[in-house]
């Protein structure tokens, strides 16, 4: 089991250039990570959908890099190209321009290099919870018996104990997301993409799941890229947040969240947290063409 | 009067603190009355069904005997029962039934397998699908029974019956399963592709298991169709089987024989249908709890 729980030391090199990320532009901030080998780099990636009479730019060229072992969130309105970024990173869609580098190698258009948890849990109803969690490993060629053996202790450890032999219909919404996330984490890849995994959960379950995810992030030491609409969620979970705007989809700012880990839930009411949240909300409002709330108040 | 007033009031007092002696778990009088009325209704439906069968049997028995209708044309239940027991004793009924039953089972299993294989091929290659689509639609639209004489000439008296049973069920199977394969959740296919699954893995891990409900629906349709194919095939060709009994009986004007064969056919098709329904409820319990509680 130990080889599952690979710890990645997080180097202390990424001292925040600007604790609040208030002035940071993506290009400026990246200087700070120069010494760290970035695990995932999107180089000048853009996506233009062409039809006969018009070109629709889903994603203006973006540069984006994630150091190993970091938790990075993308936040922005619908249609800002978050899903496009994920599809390109996962190799499902070739970008119109640019390339995707994983561990320094070109992975553009290659499927299976990253773990990608889709918005829905997509548990297969005809498989037991255990076999659902083992699915990714099984498809990647791990013999079924071994895949089950690896999955079982994790189910018990991460709150699904006793449900191994049950079918997904017996699980609550939160438990289904846990199973889906474990399925993604159990395949042997370094980068995990999470597309609004908790979007459909009620507030109570959502906050439990966030703490659970932080525990997993600590234990597994993977690099996580997380898409959300929820500013508070993004700040609570992330090391870095990329704020996006739509039409065309683009990155408008990068915020570095230097709140110490492990984070307690109480951090959300600290003045620092509140200031960052306000800043991020204002950015999103300005990008949407609305006046910042602070000015209105 | 008293109960209905209580029922009306219970709506308002439901959330009030309980001062009465009734335990919280006991159903209210109104609810008990509702359950009783449901039970009464189910019972009366069953009584009607039994009554209708009984009435049919009585009229069928009395009318020919009283000379209201010609017994040569309709036979009657007690005569059919006599023929039935006689044929059961001399073993001929069992022989004919087993012949028809095995032809039917081979027919719908064969139709399912062949149909599934073809549907997989069409799913695998959308090019092949585009080429063959119009032909499948036309072949499905042809009344397959029209092919019985051709099959008889081409394949002889035994193989033609199996061919008929398969032909009548295979095209429906192809169309139903292909549609079912197409309806499998795209995101589930995306999920396994993201794990690096090949097209074969997509097929075996998601598309086929995800189409089990469709397969059972196709099986249900096919049991009936295969039985039709077999009986019609036997009309033309056979020396044994219930279809043969029916043609033979009608040629020698033995309505007892014809009716006996039809009764057995009704029993066979009901049993097959019930069997598939049992299979369905076992299998579908896993598929997102269709028919299951939680």
Q: Could you read off the pLDDT of B130-145 as tens digits, one per residue?
A: 999 999 999 989 998 8
Q: Give the chain B residue whose CA is nearest to the CA of A137.
A: B195
- Do residues A135 and A200 both lie within one domain? no
- Do residues B103 and B225 both lie within one domain? yes
> In this complex, which of A111, A124, A169 lies closest to B294 when CB atoms are compared?
A169
Residue identified by tokens 């063959």 is: B132
Query: What count of CB pairs under 8 Å joins A to B?
Result: 57
What per-residue confidence (pLDDT) applies to A81?
85
- Do residues A195 and A268 both lie within one domain? yes
Residue of A225, A229, A224, A235 lying closest to A284 (CA atoms): A229
Residue A249 in any domain: the answer is yes
pLDDT at A7 over 80: no
Residue B5 in any domain: the answer is no
Question: Could you write out the three-class secondary structure of B134-191?
Answer: HHHHHHHHCCHHHHHHHHHHHHHHHHHHHHHHHHHHHHHHHHHHHHHHHCCCHHHHHH
Taking any CB pair shorter than 8 Å as contact, residues of chain A touching chain B are 90, 92, 111-112, 115-116, 118, 120, 122, 124-127, 135-136, 138-140, 167, 169-170, 187
- Do residues A195 and A257 both lie within one domain? yes
**Residue A230 belongs to a domain with what CATH number?**
3.40.50.300
Q: Give the chain B residue whose CA is nearest to the CA of A165.
A: B286
Distance CA A170, CA A185 (A): 22
Residues of chain A contacting residue B201, judged by C-beta atoms under 8 Å apart: 139
Residues of chain B contacting residue A120, judged by C-beta atoms under 8 Å apart: 187
- Do residues A74 and A154 both lie within one domain? no
- Do residues A140 and A262 both lie within one domain? no
> In this complex, which of B190, B192, B286 lies closest to A167 when CB atoms are compared?
B286
What per-residue confidence (pLDDT) applies to B24?
57
Contact B255, B74 (CB under 8 A): yes
What per-residue confidence (pLDDT) applies to A28?
41
Residue B228 in any domain: the answer is yes
Q: How far is A250 from chain B (nearest CA, A)?
A: 25
- Do residues B68 and B81 both lie within one domain? no
Q: How far is B283 from chain A (nearest CA, A)?
A: 9
> In this complex, which of B191, B205, B294 lies closest to A122 when CB atoms are compared?
B191
- Do residues A77 and A195 both lie within one domain? yes
Residue A121 in any domain: the answer is no
Distance CA A224, CA B259 (A): 73
Token duo for residue A166: 């049950």
- Do residues B111 and B90 both lie within one domain? yes
- Do residues A201 and A281 both lie within one domain? yes
- Do residues B62 and B99 both lie within one domain? no
Residue of A295, A270, A275 lying closest to A285 (CA atoms): A295
What per-residue confidence (pLDDT) applies to B3?
45
Last residue of one domain, picked from the residues A135, A168, A188: A188
**How many structural domains are present in chain B?**
2
Report how far apart, in Å, the C-alpha atoms of B141 and of each of B165, B167, B171, B175, B232 are.
Answer: 16, 12, 9, 11, 18
Contact A161, A129 (CB under 8 A): no
- Do residues B99 and B201 both lie within one domain? yes
Residue B7 in any domain: the answer is no
Residue B269 in any domain: the answer is yes
Last residue of one domain, picked from the residues B15, B45, B72: B72
- Do residues A289 and A175 both lie within one domain? no
Residue B16 in any domain: the answer is no
Domain extent, residue A212, equals 26-114+190-296
Residue B21 in any domain: the answer is no
- Do residues B168 and B150 both lie within one domain? yes
- Do residues B194 and B239 both lie within one domain? yes
Residue A107 in any domain: the answer is yes
Residues of chain A contacting residue B194, judged by C-beta atoms under 8 Å apart: 90, 92, 111-112, 115-116, 118
Residues of chain A contacting residue B208, judged by C-beta atoms under 8 Å apart: none
What per-residue confidence (pLDDT) applies to A14?
39
Q: Give the chain B residue whose CA is nearest to the CA of A131.
A: B205
Q: What is the DSSP string of B209-277?
A: HHTHHHHHHHHHHHHHHHHHHHHHHHHHH-SSSHHHHHHHHHHTT-HHHHHHHHHHHHHHHHHHHHHHH
What per-residue confidence (pLDDT) applies to B231?
92
**Mean pLDDT, chain A, whole residue set:** 83
pLDDT band for position A13 (cuts 50, 70, 90): very low
**Residue B214 belongs to a domain with what CATH number?**
1.10.3720.10
> In this complex, which of B188, B212, B294 lies closest to A122 when CB atoms are compared?
B188
Distance CA A55, CA A297 (A): 40
What per-residue confidence (pLDDT) applies to A5?
41
Distance CA B154, CA B151 (A): 5
- Do residues B165 and B136 both lie within one domain? yes
Comparing A5-19, A108-122, B231-245, the range with the smallest average pLDDT is A5-19
- Do residues B47 and B166 both lie within one domain? no
Residues of chain B contacting residue A138, judged by C-beta atoms under 8 Å apart: 205
Residue A157 in any domain: the answer is yes
Residues of chain B contacting residue A136, judged by C-beta atoms under 8 Å apart: 195
Residue A223 in any domain: the answer is yes
Distance CA A180, CA A124 (A): 10
- Do residues B67 and B82 both lie within one domain? no
What per-residue confidence (pLDDT) applies to A297?
38
Test the A interface: residue of B186, B195, B198 with most A CBs within 10 Å: B195
- Do residues B146 and B68 both lie within one domain? no
> In this complex, which of B188, B190, B201 lies closest to A139 when CB atoms are compared?
B201
Residues of chain A contacting residue B188, judged by C-beta atoms under 8 Å apart: 122, 124
Distance CA A40, CA A223 (A): 9
Interval A237-282: pLDDT, tens: 999 999 998 888 888 899 999 888 888 888 989 999 999 999 999 9
Residue A268 in any domain: the answer is yes
What per-residue confidence (pLDDT) applies to B237?
78
pLDDT band for position A201 (cuts 50, 70, 90): confident
Last residue of one domain, picked from the residues B72, B96, B127: B72
- Do residues A31 and A67 both lie within one domain? yes
What per-residue confidence (pLDDT) applies to A36?
56
pLDDT at A12 over 50: no
> In this complex, which of A124, A125, A140 lies closest to B196 when CB atoms are compared?
A140
Distance CA A236, CA A259 (A): 8
At A224, give phi and psi (nearest 5°): -120, 135
Last residue of one domain, picked from the residues A188, A223, A241: A188
- Do residues A67 and A181 both lie within one domain? no
Q: How far is A269 from chain B (nearest CA, A)?
A: 37
Q: Which residue has the higher pLDDT, A186 or A51?
A: A186
Domain extent, residue B127, equals 77-284
Residue A18 in any domain: the answer is no
Comparing A33-42, A61-70, B73-82, B206-215, the range with the smallest average pLDDT is A33-42
Residue A58, SS3 per DSSP: strand
Q: What is the DSSP string of A1-53?
A: -TTTS---PPPTT---SSTT-SS--HHHHHGGGTTS-EEEEEEEEEEEEE-SS
Distance CA A180, CA A174 (A): 10
Residue A10 in any domain: the answer is no
Residues of chain A contacting residue B206, judged by C-beta atoms under 8 Å apart: 124
- Helices and strands in chain B: count of H runs, count of E runs: 13, 0
Contact A69, A220 (CB under 8 A): no
- Do residues A202 and A108 both lie within one domain? yes
**How many structural domains are present in chain A?**
2
Last residue of one domain, picked from the residues A171, A188, A205: A188
- Could you give the ipTM of this predicted complex? 0.78
Mean pLDDT by 10 residues, chain B (294 residues): 46 47 69 92 95 95 91 89 93 92 92 95 94 92 90 90 92 93 93 92 93 91 91 86 92 91 93 90 68 34
Is B188 close to A139, i.e. CB distance below 8 A? no
Token duo for residue B88: 């059961």
Residue identified by tokens 């997301």 is: A177
- Do residues B59 and B157 both lie within one domain? no
Is B210 close to A118, i.e. CB distance below 8 A? no
Residue B68 in any domain: the answer is yes
- Do residues A217 and A270 both lie within one domain? yes
Last residue of one domain, picked from the residues B56, B72, B88: B72
What per-residue confidence (pLDDT) applies to B286?
67
Residues of chain A contacting residue B287, judged by C-beta atoms under 8 Å apart: 125-126
What per-residue confidence (pLDDT) applies to A11?
38
């Amino acid at each position: 089991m130990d080889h599952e729980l690979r710890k990645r030391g997080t180097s202390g090199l990424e001292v925040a250039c600007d604790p609040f990320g208030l002035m940071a532009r993506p290009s400026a901030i990246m200087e700070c990570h120069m010494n760290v080998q970035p695990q995932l780099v999107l180089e000048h990636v853009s996506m233009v959908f062409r039809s006969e009479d018009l070109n629709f730019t889903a994603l203006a060229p973006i540069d984006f890099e994630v150091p190993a072992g970091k938790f990075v969130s993308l936040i922005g309105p619908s249609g800002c190209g978050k899903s496009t970024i994920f599809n390109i990173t996962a190799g499902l869609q070739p970008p119109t321009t640019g390339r995707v580098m994983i561990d320094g190698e070109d992975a553009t258009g290659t499927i299976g290099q990253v773990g990608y948890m889709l918005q829905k849990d997509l548990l297969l109803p005809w498989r037991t919870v255990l076999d659902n969690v083992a699915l990714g490993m099984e498809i990647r060629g791990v013999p079924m018996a071994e895949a089950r053996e690896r999955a079982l202790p994790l189910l018990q450890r991460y709150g699904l104990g006793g449900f191994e032999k049950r079918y997904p219909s017996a699980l609550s919404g939160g438990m289904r997301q846990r199973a889906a996330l474990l399925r993604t984490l159990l395949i042997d890849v370094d980068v995990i993409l999470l597309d609004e995994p908790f979007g459909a959960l009620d507030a109570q379950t959502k906050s439990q799941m966030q703490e659970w995810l932080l525990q997993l992030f600590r234990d597994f030491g993977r690099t996580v890229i997380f898409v959300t609409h929820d500013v508070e969620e993004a700040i609570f979970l992330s090391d870095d947040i990329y704020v996006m705007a739509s039409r065309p989809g683009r990155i408008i700012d990068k915020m570095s969240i230097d709140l110490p880990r492990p984070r307690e839930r109480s951090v959300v009411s600290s003045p620092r947290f509140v200031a960052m949240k306000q800043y991020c909300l204002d950015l999103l409002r300005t990008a949407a063409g609305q006046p910042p709330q602070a000015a209105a108040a | 009067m008293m109960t209905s007033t209580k029922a009306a009031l219970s709506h308002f007092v439901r959330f009030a603190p309980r001062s009465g002696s009734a335990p919280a778990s006991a159903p209210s009088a109104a609810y008990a009355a509702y359950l009783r009325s449901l039970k009464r209704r189910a019972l009366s439906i069953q009584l009607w069904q039994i009554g209708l069968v009984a009435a049919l049997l009585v009229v069928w028995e009395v009318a020919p005997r009283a000379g209201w209708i010609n017994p040569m044309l309709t036979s009657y239940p007690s005569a059919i029962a006599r023929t039935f027991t006689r044929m059961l004793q001399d073993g001929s009924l069992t022989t004919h039934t087993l012949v028809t039953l095995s032809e039917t089972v081979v027919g719908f299993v064969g139709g399912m397998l062949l149909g599934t294989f073809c549907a997989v091929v069409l799913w695998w290659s959308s090019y092949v699908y585009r080429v063959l689509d119009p032909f499948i639609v036309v072949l499905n639209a042809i009344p397959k029974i029209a092919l019985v004489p051709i099959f008889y000439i081409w394949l002889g008296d035994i193989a033609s019956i199996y061919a008929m049973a398969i032909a009548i069920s295979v095209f429906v199977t192809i169309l139903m399963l292909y549609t079912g394969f197409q309806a499998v959740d795209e995101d589930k296919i995306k999920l396994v592709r993201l794990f690096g699954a090949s097209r074969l893995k997509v097929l075996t891990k998601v598309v086929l298991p995800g189409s089990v409900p469709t397969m059972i629906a196709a099986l249900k349709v096919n049991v009936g169709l295969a039985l039709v194919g077999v009986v019609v095939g036997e009309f033309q060709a056979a020396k044994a089987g219930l279809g043969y009994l029916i043609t033979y009986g009608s040629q020698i004007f033995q309505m007892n024989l014809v009716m006996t064969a039809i009764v057995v056919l009704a029993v066979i098709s009901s049993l097959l249908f019930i069997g598939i329904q049992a299979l369905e409820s076992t299998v579908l319990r896993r598929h997102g709890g269709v028919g299951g509680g939680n």
